[in-house]
Amino acid sequence: TQQLLSGRAPRSKPFRVTNADRSVKKGIMADTLDDLMDKVSDSFGVQCVSALVLDEDGTGVDMEEFFQTLTENTVLMVLEKGEKWTQHPNSPSRGQL
């Protein structure tokens, strides 16, 4: 269905999306950043997504090209207005590495 031959059409990939306090995490398929934004908005009941960031280090995912480099099952965090990314409590601080 995805135009295998044409090459250009991005392939749907699974992502894991969590909310800002990490109380909910959902698996969501998306082929573009806009597509993911739409689905996250629906799925989390967030009217206006302020940002999608990488759960691991808070890197903002604004650009389609960067989004396309993410691997399957990358964990993203959806931020609503006023919310901020915080480090995962269980992640090793750099000092412990």
Binding site for a second copy (CB under 8 A): 12, 14, 16, 24-29, 43, 53-54, 57-63, 65-67, 69, 72, 75, 88, 90-97
Nearest-angstrom CA–CA distance, 13 and 35: 11
**How many C-alpha atoms does 48 have within 13 Å on its Cβ side?**
4
CB-nearer residue toward a second copy: 1 or 11: 11
Task: Give the shortest CB-65-to-a second copy separation in angstroms.
Answer: 4
Rounded to whole angstroms, the Cα distance separating 76 from 74 reads 6
CB of 1 to a second copy, least distance (A): 24
